[in-house]
């Protein structure tokens, strides 16, 4: 009886041992509170640490790469030339005639440093806007042997665009034209011809819009100063025709080559140019040569480049 009880106990013990060795491990889900630190503004690469509270403290480190925008101060290099192969010198004047300051841009032709020649000079009004286009146009036309190489002198003001527009109104309006012309004749031109190899026998004045009107003013008030005039879209109405009539009352000769043009679509300016052309025909000045094209498809603003290109070719055609 005793042996039977011992045997049963041994069997139960054996079953318990085997069951413990083959049982599957049990998975237990445990909620772990997490404390997270959040960085809102980041200005550079930072290292962020997140602490997780568990029975044993664990420190987790994560590197975050952040792109940032940094303002850059651009360093501007001053360039001596407005065009790589054409030297431009910038001159400052304070005029006694007008009492105003001027910034004058003198662009030399490609061959200037390789010869000892004297060059014709093209003076252009509104130099802040038209010096570079005029110099490049003249250079390309000269390269094609359709005109000689020239020195380009742009008469500007050097300030903002709005300042330039205001000062040109003061200089080239009927009230300011006399003193502005005096500045050119007595101050600017003598200085240019003293310091550069400029040919005093061949001077051209080019102007657009109000500058074109001033060019026609110079035609009748300084024909001995400028033998060639390019007047693009002159905005002077009947005033330019009246200038011609006044000049014709005392003079019969006007030895100038004049190119005066206007855009086909420039309706405000067209009547004044027509009136001016009629007064020239009626005056029949001795020595005056005139070319007066209507530029098809051009407006007041778009006509300038085409007028300067065609005008410079035409006035130099006899050279």
Report pLDDT digits (tens) over 116-129.
Answer: 999 999 999 999 99
As a whole number of angstroms, the distance between CA 92 and CA 23 comes to 101
Q: What is the DSSP letter of 24?
A: P
Of 37-41, 238-242, 301-305, which range is least confident?
Answer: 37-41
CA-based nearest residue to 167, from 183, 153, 151, 152: 183
Pick the more confident residue, 81 or 169: 169
- Predicted confidence at residue 301, as pLDDT, reads 94
Pick the more confident residue, 36 or 170: 170
Phi then psi for 317, rounded to 5 degrees? -60, -30
Residue count of the chain, please give it. Answer: 319
- Predicted confidence at residue 86, as pLDDT, reads 77
Q: What percent of the chain has pLDDT over 70?
A: 73
CA distances from 284 to 65, 197, 245, 253 (A): 83, 35, 11, 9
Q: What is the DSSP letter of 26?
A: P
> Is the CB of residue 154 less than 8 Å from the CB of residue 219?
no
Average pLDDT, rounded, for the chain: 82
* Model confidence at 67: pLDDT above 60: no
Q: What is the DSSP string of 170-208?
A: HHHSTTTHHHHHHHIIIIIHHHHHHHS-EEEEEEEEEEE
Q: In the chain, what are the helix, strand and coil shares in percent, each to the nearest 5?
A: 40, 25, 40
Q: Which helix (DSSP H) or strand (DSSP E) does residue 59 occupy?
A: strand 58-64
Of 26-35, 185-194, 198-207, 294-303, which range is least confident?
Answer: 26-35
> Is the CB of residue 302 less than 8 Å from the CB of residue 264?
no
Sequence-ordered list of residues with C-beta below 8 angstroms from that of 88, at least 6 positions apart, any chain: 80, 81, 82, 105, 106, 107, 108, 131, 135
| Local confidence band at 11 (pLDDT 50, 70, 90 cut-offs) | very low
For 130-165, how does the pLDDT look when each residue is reduced to its tens digit (9 = 90+)? 999 999 999 999 999 999 999 999 999 998 889 888
* Model confidence at 5: pLDDT above 60: no
The vertex-173 CA angle with 273 and 183, nearest 5°, equals 115
* Model confidence at 282: pLDDT above 50: yes
- Predicted confidence at residue 319, as pLDDT, reads 53
| Local confidence band at 56 (pLDDT 50, 70, 90 cut-offs) | low
For 96-115, how does the pLDDT look when each residue is reduced to its tens digit (9 = 90+)? 999 999 999 999 999 999 99
């Amino acid at each position: 009886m005793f042996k039977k009880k011992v045997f049963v106990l041994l069997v139960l013990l054996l079953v318990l041992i085997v069951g413990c060795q083959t049982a599957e491990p049990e998975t237990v889900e445990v909620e772990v509170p997490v404390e997270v630190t959040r960085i809102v503004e980041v200005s550079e690469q930072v290292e962020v640490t997140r602490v997780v509270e568990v029975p044993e403290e664990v420190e987790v480190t994560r590197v975050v790469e952040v792109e940032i925008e940094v303002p850059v101060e651009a360093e501007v290099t001053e360039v001596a030339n407005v065009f790589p192969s054409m030297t431009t010198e910038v001159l400052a004047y304070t005029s006694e005639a007008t009492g105003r300051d001027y910034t004058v841009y003198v662009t030399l032709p490609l061959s200037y440093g390789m010869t000892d020649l004297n060059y014709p000079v093209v003076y252009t009004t509104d130099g802040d806007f038209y010096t570079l286009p005029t110099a490049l146009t003249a250079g390309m036309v000269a390269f094609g042997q359709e005109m000689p190489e020239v020195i380009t002198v742009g008469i500007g003001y050097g300030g903002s665009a709005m300042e330039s527009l205001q000062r040109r109104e003061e200089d080239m309006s009927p009230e300011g034209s006399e003193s502005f012309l005096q500045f050119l004749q007595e101050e600017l031109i003598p200085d240019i011809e003293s310091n550069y190899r400029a040919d005093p026998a061949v001077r051209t004045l080019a102007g657009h819009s109000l500058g074109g009107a001033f060019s026609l003013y110079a035609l009748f008030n300084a024909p001995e100063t400028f033998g060639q005039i390019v007047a693009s879209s002159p905005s002077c109405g009947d005033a330019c025709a009246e200038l011609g009539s006044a000049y014709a009352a005392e003079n019969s000769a006007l030895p100038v080559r004049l190119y005066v043009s206007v855009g086909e679509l420039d309706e405000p300016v067209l009547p004044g140019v027509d009136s001016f052309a009629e007064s020239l025909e009626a005056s029949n000045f001795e020595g005056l040569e005139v070319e007066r094209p209507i530029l098809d498809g051009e407006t007041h603003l778009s006509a300038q480049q085409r007028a300067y290109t065609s005008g410079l070719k035409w006035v130099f055609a006899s050279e």
